Chain A
Amino acid sequence: MSVKVAAGYHNCGIEPRKAYCNTLIDMAKEDSRVCVLDADLMSASGTKPFMAAFPERTFDCGVQEANMIGVAGGLSSRGFIPFCHTFGTFATRRVCDQVFLAGTYARQNIKIVGSDPGITAALNGGTHMPLEDLGIMTSLAGITVVEPCDSVSVAKVTRLAKETYGTWYMRLVRKTAVQVYEEDTDDFVLGKANLLRDGNDVTIIAMGYMVSESLKAADMLAEEGVSARVLDMWTLKPLDEEAVIAAARETGAIVTAENHNVWNGLGSAVASCLALHCPTPMEMVGVQNEFGEVAKTPALAQRFHLTAEEVVAKAHRVMLRNRNDAADAIH
């Protein structure tokens, strides 16, 4: 299996939320079990066309996230596949116990979609900025946690969610994303990271918003003669441990890059894997245990150092540590 990476760092031709809604409609045409739930954010999630096409399978619950997750649990117990959306903060922080009891613990098949991950919450500000959603969700036994990064991957991962029984949490960037994948790329495999670029000197393991930034960072490193591998770890849980371990063994230096707190997100997951299986110097790009703030996304990217430049800086640092470790070993 191989993925096709889009060139040029242009924005996706359609909004990721449009890809999400189109996929839901396509799936609902084929499968009468697909339902859509929302908590008064259908206009934001772009799912109103689904409501127009399948009104009886649409449940706009109003501003009641806890009830929405419970209703989804009930629908799942009757064999339906409910996709529930709200902002990522409310889809996780606010309903953690509902996701546990009505979802994972009861072995239900509900798909929870949290939009505006991390700094893409932008003008909604710190209250709406999910920087802990991945940590909350990955703590639940039996859950699947994923983050597609562009419209192509949103469509692929949404379909995979429908086809794979279990409770899922998917991050969804709504409006703009850099196109990372070509339309005709291969399907994604759960638990398998996508190798976007091969390299020998350092591996950048990225998720979501940071995937395209990491590709840019790899370009910048290439100009200096550094060969950087780039993995899209869209499947945070189950983590592709095999790819992480192989990257550690083959490149000797790891940088993680995530639009989330480095605590209990991608960086923590990779660090845990490496500590257990293949201790390797690593650095983490992400929000360093801070609250979010209000601003447009590019300004927030600078504020929280979620940039290609930061990935390059951390790559330099980790490669230096790797060389120092090697030198220590020799002496």
Chain B
Amino acid sequence: MKRAMNVKEVRLFANDIRRETIKCIGHLGVGHIGGALSIVDVLAVLYSGTMNIDPRDPKKDDRDFLVCSKGHAGPAVYATLALKGYFPMEMLLTLNQLGTNLPSHCDMNRTPGIDMTTGSLGQGASTAMGIACGNRLKGYDNYTYLILGDGEINEGQVWEAALFANARKLSHVIAFVDRNRLQLDGPTDDICPLLDIAAKFESFGWYGQSVDGHDVEAIARAINNAKAQDKPSVIVLNTIKGKGYRKIEDQPSNHNATISAAQMEEALADIAAERAAIEAE
């Protein structure tokens, strides 16, 4: 990172992202709120100086790249991009409406700042490796970041990509696994247990770390540590699905949920209370 991270600022940024994510989904009344809220803190770290990006030049050739392979978390990424100035905040209210540039799943051809089209789980792992290979061919030393869901790594393609990253020594790939322990049908341990994810990646030749996925300082430290390695890195983010809206936190039903106007107000009150607490520290 180019400058020391101001932890309070990043936490407030995360709080902003949560608020806008809730408004984005709440305005429509339905969406993948659980898995969007669980990745907010890593997004806050990535977009607070970790990534070499320029919102005024979203296609800057030697920028850092982000592939949100769990494409259904799009609204959290859109909220982040809007807050960074990639597009007007009002656009967030067009989510999933006919003709929108903010579809349910990330689309590189529609949304400024989205680097890869995703939505069929597992595939972002491979496209991220392709981006990293392309960047290397161009002689860049930029980073490709990849966000995977924990349910998503049920997909065999993720492990194909993991083998490939080792074979190609893609040391400028840093992957995150959003370890919220819930997938659509229930707890990951009940559906298809993932066991020790960091150890799995390590056995594939990666550098593995596990951190509290809601601790921005810990995430930033892990990224810096990953950059010091000569191999691809995975950072398992231990998270809470639905983090920030207390009533739905860790509820299996929050994967794709309806949000009434009253629920949105309730959620926004939670976010405002969190903000007040951060500011008071």
Q: Name A's B-contacting residues (CB within 8 A).
A: 35, 56-57, 59, 61-62, 64, 66-80, 82, 97-98, 100-102, 105-107
Contact = CB atoms under 8 A, between A and B. Distances in A.
B126 A77 contact: no
Contacts of A82: 130
B117 A106 contact: yes
B9 interface: no
- SS class, residues of chain B in contact with chain A: helix
A105 B129 contact: no
Residue among A67, A69, A100 with most chain B CB within 10 A: A67
Given A64-B160, A106-B109, A70 B130 contact: yes
Interface stretch (B20-28, B44-52, B134-142, B250-258): B134-142
B94 interface: no
Contacts of A73: 116, 123, 126-127, 130
A78 B135 contact: yes
Contacts of A71: 126-127, 129-130, 133, 161, 164
Report, nearest first, the 6 A-B pairs whose CB atoms are least far apart.
Answer: A74-B130, A70-B126, A78-B134, A67-B160, A64-B160, A71-B130
Contacts of A75: 130-131, 133-134, 137
A100 B120 CA distance: 10
A185 B98 CA distance: 49
Most chain B CB neighbours (cut-off 10 Å) among A64, A69, A79, A98: A64
User: Which of A57, A66, A71 has the most chain B CB atoms closer than 10 A to its own CB?
Assistant: A71
A79 B134 contact: yes
B128 A74 contact: yes
Nearest to B124: A70
Contacts of B167: 62
B134 A101 contact: no
Interface in B80-138: 107-109, 115-120, 122-135, 137-138
Q: How many B residues are at the interface, by size bracket? A: 20 to 34
Interface string B165-180: 0011000000000000
Contacts of A102: 117, 123, 126-127
A104 to B, nearest CB: 10
B157 interface: yes
Nearest to B125: A70
Contact of B133 (A62, A74, A79, A105): A74
Contact of A80 (B127, B134, B160): B134
Contacts of B168: 59
B138 A101 contact: no
Nearest to B71: A101
Contacts of A107: 109
B199 interface: no
A53 to B, nearest CB: 15
A74 B126 contact: yes
B248 interface: no
B272 interface: no
Given A56-B137, A64-B164, A67-B126, A74 B120 contact: no
A75 B122 CA distance: 17
Residue of B125, B126, B157, B163 with most chain A CB atoms under a 10 A cut-off: B126
